[in-house]
Structure 1
Amino acid sequence: MAKNATPDAAASGAGPDSAPASYETALEELETLVARMEGGALSLEDSLSAYRRGAVLVAFCQQQLDKVEQQVRVLDGAALKPHSTGVAATDGEDDDL
């Protein structure tokens, strides 16, 4: 029997360093950890484990946000270029556009 396993880690099947399935899952787990830590009912060892898991979750969430931000920048750059060239130069002569 593992004495060091926290109830949340055992229930979720997630080890302290395992990556969550999604951003939303990570955020939900992080909110649960914060609530438990703020509740003050965790032992020192469990608090440290929760803190470590929280650090992994925060890093995962930041990485996911960085990826999405990069994708938005690429999409914004691609979307703005075609719309800003050649349309105003026709003065309405070519109505087929």
Structure 2
Amino acid sequence: MSKKLIAEPAAAPASFEEAMAELAQLVTQMESGQLPLEASVAAYARGSELVKYCAGQLDKVESQVKILEGDMLKPFADAGEVQP
């Protein structure tokens, strides 16, 4: 009977910035077209985990900003736009 190796889940990133850097590296590797099929699938799965982590971190920060701004987010003005 053959045993399948089950990959252990990769550790959670230490920070949002670390997750973004790892995600950028994965995208570069995948876009190069040099990864074998199994490695591409693993890279895609890890990338998906990193995207979920980053989205969660952004949601947390957005919640904190809403609290700090009294639940009234202000629209971001373009550099050329004059605010009243």
TM-score bracket, normalised by the shorter chain, equals 0.7 to 0.9
Aligned counterpart, 1:58: 51
Q: CA deviation at 1:17?
A: 3.7
Name 1:33's counterpart in structure 2.
26
C-alpha RMSD of the superposition: 1.6
Equivalents in 1 of 2:44, 2:9: separation in Å? 10
Structure 2: 5+ residue runs without aligned partners?
72-84
Greater relative contact order (CA < 8 Å, ≥ 6 in sequence):
1
Percent identity reads 54
Q: CA deviation at 1:18?
A: 2.0
Give me the whole-angstrom Cα distance separating, in 2, the residues matched to 1:60 and 1:33.
15
Partner Cα distance (2:42, 2:66) in 1? 36
Say whether residues 1:47 and 2:63 are aligned partners.
no
Provide the TM-score with structure 1 as the length reference.
0.63
Q: How many residues align?
A: 65
For residues 36-79 of structure 1, the C-alpha deviation after alignment (integer angstroms, 9 at most, x for no partner) is: 0000000000000000000000000000000000000000008x
- List structure 1 segments (4+ residues) > 6 angstroms apart after TM superposition: none
Question: Which of these two proteins has the greater Rg computed from alpha carbons?
Answer: 1
Give the corresponding residue for 1:72.
65
Cα distance in 1, alignment partners of residues 26 and 64 from structure 2? 30
Question: CA contact under 8 A between 1:16 and 1:49: conserved in structure 2?
Answer: no
Matches of 1:31 and 1:59, distance apart in 2: 14
